[in-house]
Amino acid sequence: MDIQTWTYVIVGLTFVLYIGIAVWARAGSTKEFYVAGGGVSPLANGLATAADWMSAASYLSMAGLISFMGFGGAQYLMGWTGGYVLLALLLAPYLRKFGKFTVPDFIGERYYSRVARLVALLCAILVSFTYVVGQMKGVGVAFARFLEVPFSTGIIIGIAIVFFYAVLGGMKGITYTQVAQYCVLIFAFTVPAIFISLQMVSNPIPQLGFGGTLSDGTYLLDKLNMLSVDLGFEEYTSSGMNDRVNMFFVTAALMFGTAGLPHVIVRFFTVPKVRDARKSAGYALLFIAILYTTAPAVASFARTNLIQTVSNKPYSEMPNWFNQWEDSELIKFEDKNMDGLIQYVADKDRNELIIDRDIMVLANPEIANLPAWVIALVIAGGLAAALSTAAGLLLVIATSVSHDLLKKNLMPNISDKGELLAARISIAVAVIGAGICGLNPPGFVAQVVALAFGLAAASFFPAIILGIFDKRMNKQGAVTGMIVGVFFTLIYIWYFKPQLGGPGTPEGYWFGIKPEGIGVVGMLINLMVAIVVSRLTAAPPQDVQDLVEDIRIPRGAASPGALH
């Protein structure tokens, strides 16, 4: 069978599986719809969190990014995993003890204020929506390239699938589908990595393999360093000219942002107990780490393979995949010195080859000559990654509208049935809205992902931490802190992102900090403002102080929503 047929078969089978799970896991109440009934086992929640977390970007783009960045790519690896330590130690157990449905729930009750709840609600929708549009685009691209349907058809298929299981099953359907999606995506990511590791360094474990030796006896990384330096690039493994200050700040912004993202936090409301919330965060990181430790291995294998395949080789002898990617203009070759050979070098004037780094994961199995079914599997994995993340984000948006806006603000007397219907309608609207934006993505989508992390770090993370660890924190402090932190971050990112129309240039960066890393500064400003303002205003009422005492100890954790 050829790649095309394999892709139809494997992608079709996984979709049948997702739909089957959705039918089995229908939601019958708001509690099931918002937090899967609060009865998800820590292991299942860990798997679902991992799938929820790993988006099309982690799956398709990250290894490619690292293979072109070398050492500096570690900012994504550490940044997107380190946040889970913060989640497990500082947030998850306490939020689970608090036992409500959403992040704005916590903010609203801890800070006894509708304004605080509304600010949190707006941040949650803003963060989640910018994120989900990117996922939808990823789904469209993957379908378009491999099923050879138009981009728009690809997105419509994606919308139909997500629509089906998100509207029907809510959090319950999404959780169990994500468990299946994790299995698909991790299998699809590791299988080619193992094959390639065996081929290049005869070691079946890629994590160890990229520290191993090639058939000629040299260490793979030494060889890669040598090849890179010969072509004028920096050494792959050294921080060289990499900007250390920015690596520090970007890593930190991604970590604190991860810990503040509502679609991740809400997952810890679904387990039965406080101790389950702690354990579940551990499982989640373990499952994420499997992909995140394989990705840098894939990156160095791919980089070595690529250089050896193309550098100084005749263009006429390039393998099939090279020409296929040329057709989609993701590889471009221009024979500047007309010698018929490919010069791939760091020097821009002499370099003849431009490679889109996003193709590395998809092209990798082809570069390594793996069988067709492996390539089809990688495509199914990419779709699983994009769909699972999109579903989790859409649920946050829907919950924010039906629970935080309708039930808690506009229509407090709405019945459980009415609220469930409202939740279903809002998720349906959100899915379609995201799909439409995915069809006509505003040019700045890629840029706003940085914004999502920066905003989460500068808004939710400090507000929640202070709500738990500082009993004296009151609504004046928290609300002022959030507003100042968010506006500072927004303005800095807008000002220094020409893609968003900002007038700033890199020379003007404060202390040389890139917009991607500014969320940490926003977070620190939020913390300081909140503490100062709270100490100048009245202490929170006694019942709120009691609430804080109560969430600090595990005993007596009610199932979520029981106090409603």
Phi, psi of 478 (to 5 degrees): -65, -45
Smallest separation, CB 179 to other proteins (Å) = 19
Smallest separation, CB 541 to other proteins (Å) = 19
> In this structure, is the dihedral angle defined by the CA atoms of residues 516, 518, 523 and 526, taken in order, positive or negative?
negative
Residue 166: alpha-carbon gap to chain centroid: 19
Smallest separation, CB 289 to other proteins (Å) = 5
Smallest separation, CB 277 to other proteins (Å) = 10
- Two tokens, residue 279: 């354990």
Shorter beta-carbon distance to other proteins: residue 253 or 437: 253
Smallest separation, CB 96 to other proteins (Å) = 11
Shorter beta-carbon distance to other proteins: residue 412 or 556: 556
> In this structure, is the dihedral angle defined by the CA atoms of residues 470, 474, 477 and 482, taken in order, positive or negative?
positive
Shorter beta-carbon distance to other proteins: residue 88 or 544: 88
Q: Check if the beta carbon of residue 349 is closer than 8 Å to that of residue 335.
A: no
Alpha-carbon distance 282 to 268, whole Å? 12
Alpha-carbon distance 443 to 125, whole Å? 20
Closest CA to 35 of 173, 128, 129, 168: 173
Helices (H) and strands (E) in the chain, counts: 24, 2
Shorter beta-carbon distance to other proteins: residue 90 or 528: 90
Shorter beta-carbon distance to other proteins: residue 280 or 474: 280
> In this structure, is the dihedral angle defined by the CA atoms of residues 13, 44, 82 and 456, taken in order, positive or negative?
positive
- Two tokens, residue 97: 């003890």
Smallest separation, CB 190 to other proteins (Å) = 15
Smallest separation, CB 95 to other proteins (Å) = 15
Shorter beta-carbon distance to other proteins: residue 242 or 311: 242
H helices of 91-150, in order, are 92-98, 103-110, 114-146
Q: Check if the beta carbon of residue 426 is closer than 8 Å to that of residue 404.
A: no
For the chain, first and last CA: distance in Å?
56
User: CA distances (Å), 307 to each of 67, 71, 358, in order?
Assistant: 11, 17, 16
Question: Which residues of the shown chain bind other proteins in the complex (CB under 8 A)?
Answer: 66, 71, 73-74, 77-78, 81-82, 84-85, 88-90, 93, 207, 210-213, 219-222, 237-239, 244, 247-248, 251-252, 273-275, 278-279, 281-282, 285-286, 289, 292-293, 296, 549, 552-557
The helix (run of H) or strand (run of E) holding residue 331 is strand 331-333
Smallest separation, CB 341 to other proteins (Å) = 30
Shorter beta-carbon distance to other proteins: residue 136 or 557: 557
Shorter beta-carbon distance to other proteins: residue 286 or 436: 286
